[in-house]
Amino acid sequence: MNRGIYPALSGGIAYERLLSVISNNVANLNTSGYKIDRPIFRVDTPSSTQGAASLGNNPHRDKFFTEIDRIFTDFGSGAIKQTGNTLDLAIEGDGFFVVSTPDGQRYTRSGAFTLNSSNTLTTMDGHMVMGESGPIVLGEGSVVIDPEGGVSVNGTEINRLKIVDFDKPYNLQKDNNNMFKGTGEKPAEGYSVVQGAIELSNVNPVKEMAAMIEVLRGYESYRKVMTTIDETTARANEIGRT
C-alpha cells in the first residue's frame, strides 16, 4: 500500500486551516485594533518526539506530515485614523489599554471608548477602562487626554490612563471583542496617546489576497499528488491482468 497519500492529505488539511485564518483576517479588515494572525507550518514525523529526525536517512520518509505549528499574531501597528470623537483614543508606539472584564483584566489596542450612565469610561461592551487610580470617572466638562495618557476635565487632571506593555515577543492570547489576555504586564514606555483617533486593523488586503491564491493553488497541488498516487495504485492493482 502506498502511504504517500497521507502526507499529501495532511498538507491539504493544513491549507484548509490556513484559509480559516485568512478569512478571519479579512473579516476583521475594518475592526479597530485587530492584529493579523499568521500561521507557521511545520513538518512533523510520528517519531520526532523521541528524537531529532533527519530527512535524509529516515526510513519513515512517507510519514512526514505538514501541520500548523502555531499561529503567530503580528502586533505591528495599524494606521491611525482621525475621527474627531473626543473619546476615541489610539496608542502610537507599543502599549495596551487595560480593560476590566468579569473574566479578569484584558488588554486592547482598540480605543473606541464611550461612557456609561455613571460617567465612567468604558469599551463598547460596557467594560471599564482602567486608569492608574482605578476606573476613569469623567465629570462635567470638556475632556482632554494628553499624549502621556493624563485625563483632564476642565483643565484639572483627574486620572491617568493605564497603558501597559509586555516583554517581547508578546505572549498574549486573543480573547474575543478586540481584547488580549496575558500575564507579566509592565508600564509601557515611549508611547503617545492620540485623542480623537482610532487605530485601524493591521490587515493588508493585498497580502491576504495573495495568500488566498497560494492556498487555493497549494491545495490543488496536494490534490494532484493524491490523484497521482491513486492512479499509480490502480495501475499496480492491474498487474497480472491480461
Partner 1 sequence: MMRALYISASGMEAQQLNIDIISNNLANVNTSGFKKSRGDFQDLLYQTIRMAGAPSGTGTQVPAGIQIGSGVRSAAVQKIFTQGDFQNTQNSLDLAIEGEGFFQVSLPDGTTGYTRAGAFKKDNAGRMVTSDGYTVEPAITIPADTLNITVSANGIVSVLQAGNPIPTEIGTIQLTRFSNPSGLNSIGRNLFLETAASGEAVTGNAGELGFGTLAQGFLESSNVNIAEELVNMIIGQRAYEINSKAIQTADDMMRTSNELKR
Q: List interacting residues with partner 1 (CB under 8 A).
A: 12, 15-17, 19-24, 26-32, 34, 37, 39, 49, 68-73, 83-85, 110, 112, 114-119, 124-125, 138, 140-141, 171, 173-178, 205, 208-209, 212-213, 215-216, 219-220, 223, 226-227, 230
Nearer to partner 1, 187 or 210 (CB): 210
Q: What are phi and psi of 194, to 5 degrees?
A: -110, 125
CB of residue 188 vs partner 1: minimum separation in angstroms?
A: 21
CB of residue 114 vs partner 1: minimum separation in angstroms?
A: 5
CB of residue 136 vs partner 1: minimum separation in angstroms?
A: 13
Nearer to partner 1, 24 or 192 (CB): 24
What's the rounded Cα separation, in Å, for the pair 216 and 8? 14
Nearer to partner 1, 49 or 57 (CB): 49
Q: Which residue, among 48, 26, 100, 70, has the nearest Cα to 173 in the 3D structure?
A: 70
Burial class (CB in 10 A: 0-12, 13-18, 19+), 73: middle
CB of residue 150 vs partner 1: minimum separation in angstroms?
A: 20
